[in-house]
Amino acid sequence: MAKLWEKTTQVDAKIEAFTVGRDREMDLFLAKYDVMGSMAHIRMLESVGLLQADELKTLLTELKKIYLLADSGQFTIEEGVEDVHSQVEMLLTTSLGDMGKKIHSGRSRNDQVLLDLKLFSRAEIEKTVLAVSELFEVLISQSNKYKDVLLPGYTHLQVAMPSSFGLWFGAYAESLADDLQLLLSAWKITNRNPLGSAAGYGSSFPLNRQMTTDLLGFDSMNYNVVYAQMGRGKMERTVANALASVAATISKLAFDACMFTSQNFGFIKLPDNFTTGSSIMPHKKNPDVFELTRAKCNKLQSLPQQIMMITNNLPSGYFRDLQIIKEVFVPAFGELTDCIEMTAMMMAQVEVNADILKEDRYDYLFSVEEVNRLTLTGVPFRDAYKQVGLEIEAGKFKPNKTVNHTHQGSIGNLFNDEICAYKNEVLSQFSFNKMHTALADLLAD
């Protein structure tokens, strides 16, 4: 099948297979966004006199049919067709003849794929934000539920000071709130329109880039056309850094959960139907979901570096290197969302051991509490520290296993309401509604 760019020379079959790579597979994720971009583009073309009103109406009708195919998962990219852009244009020309060829005026496949990736990333960032927010709510709920249940705190994996399940669950909730800040930055960089930059140097057609920016619900455009092209790779790396931050939070939580469910700790327990068994040891109940989550999230943390190494030292302008980014970037959203949803399900059902600190092995957790108690009676801190230390060395230390922490963010004053307010303030800055309204209007009859 002839390529959009092909003239008289047909490309070698092996060269074609190598250069196309996994584009057909990855572009299926982008199909409906490619159609939406074309719908906005041709509305703009009609407004500047490059399409007739009747042509616009006919093209929009056909594009909506293709959009419905893509949205329902029935869109395919045929063998011999390079990418989603070529497939959409081929479908239009098959149905409408030469009229279908007019949609590419003032546009390059370079700014098409830039636009597709931004529209796709916007939608996926929203899904990620919602999933993170749901996990946050699970963790805050568990923090409030178990706020009075103590557990050991560790430094160097040695018993250190009293902690609580309120602190443990709440710490990961607040970490996710910070991760949402990074997702917000990624959203703001993603939510800028590159369409109209063409191959990176603009067009001699009188394009109205503000019109397509508004039609697609972007906050602004990438103003400089060279920078719009330079933004490919940068946008993906920025988003990947935000995804990696969420993955780091969840990976650490998964490690804690694996450790805390082991018999040597016994702090938490998973429902039996959330664990897997051993083919040889009949007693085993393994936290495989947390182990796989840890591995998947650790892999996701390498994503920014992968993108950086693909784009490193590329000068301005377009290079085919950028195509490879899609292979690691596009699937990452689904992989992370799966991990977030699994973690939320597990954390909501986890059973907490309320009697951990009754065991003598945790007596020394309360050594600092005793030092502080003596200090409050007037004993200088260093003298109190030495007194308790000598009692421990002599085997005479008898802990008082009550704690009275009152400062902000401590065992007795979790500040969960403030953490929730912080999270909600970040969420309020995402312009999801603006995006949905614009795209609904674009797709309306």
Residue 287 — very low, low, confident or very high, per pLDDT cuts 50/70/90? Answer: confident
Q: Where in the chain is the domain with CATH 1.20.200.10?
A: 110-145+165-202+222-358+415-443
Answer whether residue 8 shows pLDDT above 90.
no
* pLDDT for residue 82: 80
DSSP 104: G
Measure the CA–CA gap between 271 and 387, rounded to whole angstroms: 45
Homologous superfamily of 110-145+165-202+222-358+415-443? Fumarase/aspartase (Central domain) (1.20.200.10)
**Beta carbons within 8 Å of 407's beta carbon, 6+ residues apart:** 413
Answer whether residue 240 shows pLDDT above 70.
yes
Instruction: Fill in the amino acid letter for 271.
Output: P
Average pLDDT rounded to a whole number, residues 22-40 = 89
Residue 283 — very low, low, confident or very high, per pLDDT cuts 50/70/90? Answer: confident
Measure the CA–CA gap between 34 and 40, rounded to whole angstroms: 10
Residue 12 — very low, low, confident or very high, per pLDDT cuts 50/70/90? Answer: low
E strand or H helix at 159, and its extent? strand 158-164
* pLDDT for residue 9: 64
* Cβ atoms < 10 Å from Cβ of 65: 13
Q: Please tell me the number of Cα atoms within 13 Å of 151 on its side-chain side.
A: 19
Answer whether residue 80 shows pLDDT above 90.
no
Asked if 282 and 208 touch (Cβ cutoff 8 Å), the reply is: no
| Percent of all residues in the chain with a pLDDT value above 70, rounded to a whole number | 95
The rounded Cα 282 to chain-centroid distance in angstroms is 38
Q: What is the signed CA dihedral for 55, 56, 57, 60, rounded to 10 degrees?
A: 120
Whole-model pTM: value is 0.92
- Rounded to the nearest 10 degrees, the angle between the axes of helix 416-427 and helix 109-145 is 160
Answer whether residue 445 shows pLDDT above 90.
no
Answer whether residue 5 shows pLDDT above 70.
no
Measure the CA–CA gap between 141 and 257, rounded to whole angstroms: 17
Asked if 406 and 415 touch (Cβ cutoff 8 Å), the reply is: no
Among 46-55, 90-99, 266-275, the range scoring the smallest mean pLDDT is 266-275
* pLDDT for residue 81: 86
* pLDDT for residue 7: 52
Is 391 or 18 the better-scoring residue by pLDDT? 391
Strand positions, DSSP E, 382-434: none
Measure the CA–CA gap between 191 and 126, rounded to whole angstroms: 12
Among 144-148, 288-292, 297-301, 317-321, the range scoring the smallest mean pLDDT is 317-321
DSSP 202: -
Asked if 233 and 322 touch (Cβ cutoff 8 Å), the reply is: yes
Asked if 110 and 323 touch (Cβ cutoff 8 Å), the reply is: no
The burial class, CB within 10 Å (0-12 / 13-18 / 19+), for 330 is buried
pLDDT, tens digit (0-9, with 9 covering 90-100), for 430-443? 999 999 999 999 99
Asked if 63 and 41 touch (Cβ cutoff 8 Å), the reply is: no
Q: Could you tell me the CA-to-CA distances from 302 to 36, 201, 276, 336 in Å, in that order? A: 31, 33, 28, 13
Answer whether residue 85 shows pLDDT above 80.
yes
Closest C-alpha among 426, 432, 440, 417 to residue 125: 432
- Select, from the ranges 243-252, 270-279, 317-326, the one with the highest average predicted confidence (pLDDT): 243-252
Answer whether residue 371 shows pLDDT above 60.
yes
Average pLDDT rounded to a whole number, residues 77-85 = 86
Is 132 or 315 the better-scoring residue by pLDDT? 132
* pLDDT for residue 313: 87
Answer whether residue 16 shows pLDDT above 90.
no
* pLDDT for residue 59: 97
Answer whether residue 6 shows pLDDT above 70.
no
* pLDDT for residue 278: 63
Q: Where in the chain is the domain with CATH 1.10.275.10?
A: 13-105
Answer whether residue 74 shows pLDDT above 70.
yes
Answer whether residue 134 shows pLDDT above 90.
yes
- Mean pLDDT, the chain, integer: 93
For the 13-105 domain, the top CATH level (class) is: mainly alpha
Average pLDDT rounded to a whole number, residues 150-154 = 95
Give alpha helix (H) positions in 270-401: 288-300, 303-311, 325-329, 332-349, 367-376, 381-393
Residue 268 — very low, low, confident or very high, per pLDDT cuts 50/70/90? Answer: very high
